[in-house]
Amino acid sequence: MKSLDETVEAVMRTLGLDDAAVVRRKAFLEFTDDDVARLRTLHAALQDLAPDFVDAFYTHLLAFEETRALLPHAQTLERLKRTQAAYFDNLTAGDYGPDYILHRLRVGAAHQRAGLAPAWYLGGYSKYLAGLFPELWQRLGKDPEAFVATCQALIKIVLLDMGLAIDTYIQADRQTILTLKEYADIVFASIPDGLLVLSPDLTVLSANRAFLERLGLTEEAVRGRYLMEVLAADGLRGRALEVLATGVAQHDVLFSMGPAGSDERKPVRVTLTGIRLAEEEEEEEEARLLLIVEDLTEEQALRAAALESERRFRDLAETAHDGIIMTDPQGKIAYFNRAAERMFGYRRNQALQRSIGTVLPEPLSCQLDEGLQHTPVWETQGRRQDGTFFMVEGSSSVFEGSAGRFITYVLRDLTERKQFERQLIHLANHDPLTHLPNRKFFQDRLGISLDEAALNEEQLAVLFLDLDRFKLINDTFGHALGDKLLLMVAERLAGCFRKGDMLARLGGDEFVVLLRGLSGKQDATLVAQKIMDGFAHAFQLEAHEAFVSASIGIAFYPSDAIDADNLIRCADSAMYQAKEQGLGYQFYRLDLENLSSERLTLENSLRRALERDELRLYYQPKVDLASGAVIGLEALLRWAHPVRGMIPPDQFVPLAEETGLIVPIGEWVLRTACLQIKAWQGEGMPLLPVAVNLSARQFRQPSASGETEGRPLSDEAAGVHDLVETIERVLGETGVDPSCLELEITESILMQNLSTAANILQALSAKGMRIFIDDFGTGYSSLSYLKRLPIDTIKIDKSFVGDITTDQDDAAIVAAIIAMAHSLRLKVVAEGVETQEQFDFLLERGCDAMQGYFYSKPLPAEEILPLLRSTRNSSSGRD
C-alpha cells in the first residue's frame, strides 16, 4: 500500500492540481483576499472556542454506529480530537497556500483509507458549520453585514476543502496501481532535503530536485560525474570514503558547500549513509552511498533573526516605562526589567527565581489560572520590597512552550493616577477656593440625609447664607482680597456647627448649611445667632478692616419641603427676605413666596417700561448759595407705572442695576435730557447745564463692535470706546453742545476700575463736559483719585447735610469736605438742603451751591420754565 504522501502526490498529478489550478478553483468559488482577511479575524476570535467545539463534534460522531466504529478506543479518540482541533484551526488561519492544499488532500486520503464514506464525511462538515453559525451570530449579530460576509467566506473555504476531499476519494483507487518505482521517484523527488546517490567510486548516480535547486545545478550537469567535479566542500570526500569503507553512517556533519568552481558557499548539514540496491541481472547487491543534504541557510537566518529579535525585545523591555516580568512554568520570576526594579524596589538579581507572589499578591496567580490572562487589562495590588502596597494596572499573556507555560506581566504603577483620580473626585465635589463641598456634593448629601430623616422620622434644616455688601468690598479692594475674605468667612463659619452638620459653598458669596438631628426650630435659631455673632468682629484684609454681615434664610424638613431642590429654594427665598428687611436671619414662610413673586413681576414690568414709554425725567435746580441764582439742573429718573402709579427710584433703580437694564435706561435718560435741553433753548430758556447720573453698569457695558480699525479692543479700551461713543452719538443726534451736559458719578464707580474710569472721564472732559462726584463721603476709597481725575465739582451727600445744625460730627465732616474741595480748586454742591438753618450753615462755610426742597423739589420738564421765570421776577422785585 502506498503511503498517504504517495497517494496525495499521485492525485495532484492526475488532477493537474498545480498552483494555477488551485487559483482557478478559488476564483470559481469567488474566494478573495477579503475572505482571507475575514477568516483570519474569525480565527483570532475562535481561539477560546476550539476545545469545546471539538468535544461537541466528536460527541456527535459517537452518536452514530457508522462513525463510532472508526473510533476504537479512548487513546485514538484523544489523538483524533487533537488532529481535528488543528484541522479546524487551520481552516480559518488564513494561510491557504500549497502546504494547505497538500494537508487537505492528505486528510481526505486518510479518511478514505480509514473507510469513512463521503456521506459521513460531508455530514461532518455540516456539523461543523451548524455548530459555528450560532457562535458567529452571537459575536457578529450586531453587524449583519459582517456576519453574512464571514459566513460566506467560511462556506467558500469549506467547499474548497470538500472539493479536494471528493477529488481524493475519486482518485484514491487509481493511485494504488502505480508502480513502486514511480512511488520511489515521487518520494525521492518530493523530499525537501537534498538527496544525492553515489557509486562506490563517488560517481553521481542520481540527485533529487531539492538538491539541484538549492545548489543551482541541473540533472545533466551532475549525473555520471565525479563528486568533487560537482561539489566543493572541504572534507566531504574523506568522509564519504570512510562511510563506504566502514559501513558506519555519519550524521549531522556540517559543511560549507557550493558548486565546484564557484566561490558561492552555503551552510549545510549532511548525513552520509551506505545503501545497497539490487541490480536487475545480478544476484549480489552493490554498495551505494546516500548523501542527505539539509540547507541551513534559512535556519541560520531564522536563528540570527531570533537572536536579533531577542536583543530588540530586551532593549525595548529595558527602556520601557512599564514594568515587565516573566515567570517560568513553576511561577518563578525569570525576567525582571529596569522599570520593575524601580517599581518594586528589588534589584534584578534579588528578584530572579523568587515567586511572582513576592511582588504580586498570591491571589493574582490563582486568578490567572482561572482565566485572568484573557482579561485585557486588570488592576491589583503590588508589594514593594519594603512591604508597602500600591495599586498597579497590568496585562498578561501566556506562552505555552515545550518546557511548559510562561507568563509575561506588563505592569504600570497607578499611584499617581489614583492620586489624580482622588483629586478629580475632590474637585468635582468641592469648591476650589474654600475646599468646602460644592453645590453638587451638597445636594447629593442632602438627598441622602432626607432619606435617613424620613426613615428615622427626624427634622433637618437648610440654612442659606449670603454675605451683605460683599460686592462692594470685592470691587473696592480687588478680587484677590475678595477671595481672601471668602476663605476667612469659610473658616469662621466652620466653627459655628456641630459634628455631623455640613457647610458648603454654592458659588460667589453664597453658602449653605445642613443641620441634622434637630429637636426644634430653636436649634436652628441658636446656629443662626452663632453665625451672626461670629460676623460681629472685623475681618483683617492686609491693611484694611472689613466688617461683613450675613443674611440667612432657614427652611425645615418636612414642614417646608420634602425634597432637596425645594428645601434649598425655600431657604434661598427666606434669605432674600432677611436681606431686604435687614433681619439677619429669617425662617421660611409661605407668604414670602408672594414677595419674591412681586419682585419678579416688578422686574418683568421694568423690562417693558421703556417700550411702553412709562419712564419720566424730573429736574431739580442747582442754586448758587451766594446769589440765589439757578446755575443748573439735575435730571432725576421716575417710573410712572400704569397700575402702581409713580414708583420711587430706590425701588427700581437697584433692580435695573442688577438686571443690566440700567444700560438702555441710561442711554434713554441721556437722550431725553439732551432733547429737553434743545427744547428749552427753543423756548428761550437761559442756557443752563443739565446733569445726568452714570451707573456702574454703563462703565462696564460690553463693546458693541469689539473692534476698532480691524483690531480687537482690550476690555478697558472697549469700555472707554462704548460709553464715550454713546454720549458723542446722542449729543450729535440731538445737536446739544457738550458744555450743556454735566455727568455725575459715584465714588464706588471710580474704585471698581480706577484706570478705566480715568480714561473715560478724561475723554469726556476733553470734549467740554463737566464731571461731578455724587454722594461724596459715603464711599470707602482713598481721596487720591481727586488729584488724578478731571473732576469739577463734588456733591456732599444729603445724609451729612440733614443733621449739620444738630450733629457736631456731621457739621465737622461737611466743613472739612468744603475746605478740602476748595484747597483742590473744586466746587462743592450740597444735596438735600431743606431748611433755612442748613442754607445759612452752608453759606457761612463757603459752600458754592445747593439743591433740595428748600428751593424746589424735582419737577416735570414743563414746570421748570415757570419756576425759573418766577424766580427771576422775584429777584427783580427785590431789586
Q: Any bridge partners for residue 860, and if so which?
A: 618
For 71, the domain range is: 4-181
Question: Domain holding 174: CATH number?
Answer: 1.10.490.10
> Has residue 596 been placed in a domain?
no
Segment among 75-89, 131-145, 269-283 with least mean pLDDT:
269-283
Residues 874 and 748 in one domain: yes
Domains identified in the chain, total number: 5
CATH number at residue 574: 3.30.70.270
- Residue 482 in domain: yes
CA separation for the pair 69, 90 (Å, rounded): 26
Residue 634 sits in a domain whose CATH number is 3.20.20.450
Is residue 851 domain-resident? Answer: yes
User: How many CB atoms within 10 Å of residue 854?
Assistant: 16
- Asked, for residue 226, whether it belongs to a domain, the answer is yes
Q: How confident is the model at residue 364 (pLDDT cuts 50, 70, 90)?
A: low
Same domain flag for 516 and 573: yes
Residue 599 located in a structural domain: no
Please indicate, yes or no, if residue 434 is contained in any of the structural domains.
yes
Q: Is the pLDDT score of 721 beyond 80?
A: no
Same domain? 738 vs 771: yes
Last residue of a domain, one of 554, 588, 622: 588
The domain boundary residue, chosen from 150, 181, 212: 181
Q: At which of 351, 385, 418 does a domain end? A: 418
Angle (CA) 401-405-410 rounded to 5° is 105
Q: Strand pairing partners for 624?
A: 849
| CATH assignment at residue 218 | 3.30.450.20
Place 828 in a pLDDT band, splitting at 50, 70 and 90. Answer: very high
User: Is residue 673 located within the same domain as residue 793?
Assistant: yes
Buried b (16+ CB within 10 A) or exposed e, 337-370: bebbbebbbbeeeebeeeebebbbbeebbebbee
Q: What percent of the chain has pLDDT over 70?
A: 87
Grid cell at residue 455: 426613615
Same domain, 644 and 781: yes
Residues 490 and 411 in one domain: no
| DSSP secondary structure string for all residues of 411-425 | EEE-HHHHHHHHHHH
The reply to whether 730 and 807 lie within a common domain is yes
Computed on alpha carbons and rounded to an integer, the radius of gyration of the chain in Å comes to: 52
Please provide the DSSP assignment of 489-550 as one string. HHHHHHTTS-BTBEEEEEETTEEEEEEEEESSHHHHHHHHHHHHHHTTSPEEETTEEE---E
For 482, 486, 492, 501, the CA distances from 433, given in Å and listed in that order, are 11, 8, 15, 20
In a domain, 653, yes or no: yes
pTM above the 0.85 mark? no
Summarised one tens digit per residue, pLDDT across range 216-241 is: 888 888 899 999 999 999 999 999 99
Does 673 share its domain with 796? yes
User: Does one domain contain both 504 and 355?
Assistant: no
Query: Does residue 310 sit within a domain?
Result: no
What tens digit of pLDDT does each residue of 574-614 get?
888 888 777 788 898 876 666 566 677 778 888 888 888 99
pLDDT band at 51 (very low <50, low <70, confident <90, very high): low
Average pLDDT on 200-214 reads 88
pLDDT at 715: 41
Distance CA 586, CA 106 (A): 95
- Same domain membership, residue 203 and residue 158: no
Pairing of strands 741-746, 770-776: parallel
CB 764 within 8 A of CB 743: yes
Co-location of 448 and 399 in the same domain = no
Distance CA 19, CA 870 (A): 123
Please report, rounded to a whole number, the percentage of residues in the chain having pLDDT higher than 90: 23
Q: Assess whether 25 and 150 both reside in one domain.
A: yes
